[in-house]
Amino acid sequence: MKLTVTGTGYLGATHAACMAALGHDVLGVDTDPGTVDLLNTGHAPFREPGLDDLLVQGLATGRLRFTTDPGAAARHGRVHFITVGTPQRDGGTALDTGAVDAAVDVLAEHIAAAVPAGGPSHLLIGRSTVPVGTAGRLRSRLRDRYGDLLQVSWCPEFLREGHAVADSFRPDRIVLGVETPGSDAADRIAAQVREICADALGAGVPLIVTDFPTAELVKVAANAFLATKISFINAVGDVCEAAGADVTVLAAALGMDPRIGAAGLGAGLGYGGGCLPKDVRGFAARAGDLGVDRLADLLGTVDAVNTGRRDRIVGMAETALDGAPAGRRVTVLGAAFKPGSDDVRESPALAVAAALDRRGARVTVCDPVATGPVRRVHPGLRCEPVPEEALRGAELVVVATDWPEFTTLDPVAAAALVAGAVVIDGRNCLPAAAWRAAGWDYRAPGVGVNPASTA
């Protein structure tokens, strides 16, 4: 099928490449010439395992190409994915849908100009994360302007950074929002989506067809629930620390309860990245708009607990440095918000490094892939991609991203490199007993003064 993808950021570039790999003829559209030029060379402007290979493959077969011309998208096919970003509004917490509105309006104008009177309708499939009510608003506006020329549906994405390619091919579920479920128009839209997603559906991935509001809420509700689990275990971690308990053992025991599950119960620095923080805040803002104040308050607390983890680790670092971080050499292992990514947006690791730098510490940041983004965001921070070099001469080590390059470090060899064998395991990811046995003063959030149960 001929498909277009408007917006070639993290979501759009991945979606376009994966659709081409499945045999579709895909044209990606973006307003940034630099991004388009880079993608047309087979390189993404961000790190995502396996994506560059898919770009090269798609370009070589001719099933994938990128352009800045929205008119080319209008002429290319009749199914158009909208994958532009929805950041937080400046000075607020609500999601900004300005880029979505602009992308839809520009594409619609070109489609209207390209399709003769009485010609076939085109389908817009929104994938961007939007406040509930957006799809209905866009559908009404397009109907007023163009009649039934443009159909609208909403199919939220559920990609995890570092796993986006696999998640594109085999998502946990596909949720499709349509204006009137069960209508002939909805059935036609669902049939097109089934054709596009035939490979995943054939492998048993479920398709849920629902109304616009439900589809829009699924993504933000899922992220809010995950964020709540993360903030919950971190709040419980504070109790564990005060009581002399071990949050890592407690979390493992909780995760064995099938009603709870282990995913998201990793205590430590909390969540970051381009999705969870802004989605939680955006959902809270929209809940407040709709008068659902208790949910807005709950999500506000979830966000506050999460951001407070950064201050907690900075406080632990200051204590480890006798309350005087100025001039002290600190190595922060990690800058990306999670392993497998070079994304430093809302990164707890980078927030800790920057906070210690502001307090006068001589900070070295080590990350296997994110040194470039760090230099762009915080040019004053010293970066070193090799852990052994970053550790040399450090008086304090903070593990802030659980890259395997850090979790598998030899604590004996590491102790020989540092000036002070003090480590704050901000992700509770190190084998604590082995580090203590190697002579390290091991500290971790959520682990009390009695470490006997820590493995």
Q: Which residues are catalytic, by number?
A: 275
Which tokens in the block code for residue 337? 């918000």
CA dist list (Å): 82 to 95, 129, 134, 156, 157: 16, 10, 13, 10, 11
| Cβ contacts of 85 within 8 Å, gap of 6 or more | 7, 9, 99, 128
Q: Per-residue DSSP letters for 292-317?
A: -HHHHHHHHHHHHHHHHHHHHHHHHH
Kindly state the DSSP code that residue 262 receives in the 8-state scheme: S
SS3 per residue for 187-239: HHHHHHHHHHCHHHHHCCCCEEEEEHHHHHHHHHHHHHHHHHHHHHHHHHHHH
Nearest alpha-carbon partner for 106 in 134, 82, 77 = 82
Return the SS3 of 435.
helix
- Please state at what angle helix 212-243 crosses helix 247-255, rounded to 10 degrees: 140
**H or E element in which residue 140 lies:** helix 134-146
Token look-up 């969540």 returns 271
End-to-end C-alpha distance for the chain, whole angstroms:
53
The Cα 76–Cα 71 span in angstroms is 9
CA dist list (Å): 112 to 104, 107, 412: 12, 9, 68
Q: Is the dihedral of CA 193, 199, 202, 206 positive or negative?
A: negative
The Cα 138–Cα 132 span in angstroms is 12
Give yes or no for a contact between 124 and 151, defined as CB atoms under 8 angstroms apart. yes
| Cβ contacts of 252 within 8 Å, gap of 6 or more | 262
Which tokens in the block code for residue 120? 């076939």
Give yes or no for a contact between 378 and 363, defined as CB atoms under 8 angstroms apart. no
